[in-house]
Amino acid sequence: MANTETALKEALSSIEGATGAALVDYNSGMALGTIGGSKNFDLTVAAAGNTDVVRAKLRAMEHLGLKGEIEDILITLTSQYHLIRLLTGRSGNGLFLYLVLDAKQANLAMARHQLRKIEAELEV
């Protein structure tokens, strides 16, 4: 089992094209840990902003009466991919992993696969 710091380091080092990663509490909007980003891209602000995305999708699912759970939310920009993976299980309730990828270097299928693996090993 990996702690938050170890999991985020693994995401940044093992996922091709990853430029930043965070573990975020979408109830409070607080990042519990971050790695990467840049002076032009504040990962803490981005992570907090994406809590609104998660909350909006959960509300929409509720209003539509959709059953099931969100696995991933993908936001594609011209130069970046933003991947949000909601954690499952008791210890992950209300948390998501947030991954920023360089669109020119990343392989989305492999990034999703690797993020699932990191989630499975994460102990919060």
Question: Region 76-84: what's the mean pLDDT?
Answer: 96
**Residue 76 confidence (pLDDT) above 70:** yes
First to last CA, the chain: 9
Query: Tokens standing for 104?
Result: 């020119």
* pLDDT tens-place string over residues 88-108: 866 668 999 999 999 999 999
Could you give the CA distance from residue 49 to residue 26 in angstroms, rounded to a whole number?
10
Q: Look up residue 122 and give its amino acid.
A: L
Query: Which pTM was predicted?
Result: 0.93
Hey, which residues does 20 pair with through a beta bridge?
36, 100
Domains of the chain from N-terminus onward? 4-121 (3.30.450.30)
Q: Look up residue 83 and give its amino acid.
A: L
**Residue 2 confidence (pLDDT) above 90:** no
Q: Looking at residue 91, what is its pLDDT?
A: 62
Residues 95, 87 contacting (CB under 8 angstroms): yes
Could you give the CA distance from residue 31 to residue 22 in angstroms, rounded to a whole number?
7
Could you give the CA distance from residue 58 to residue 70 in angstroms, rounded to a whole number?
8
Q: Looking at residue 117, what is its pLDDT?
A: 94
| CB contact burial 70-88 (16+ within 10 A = b; e otherwise) | eebbeeeeeebbbbbbbbe
Q: Rounded to 5 degrees, what angle do the CA atoms 75, 79, 85 make?
A: 30
Percent of the chain with pLDDT over 90: 85
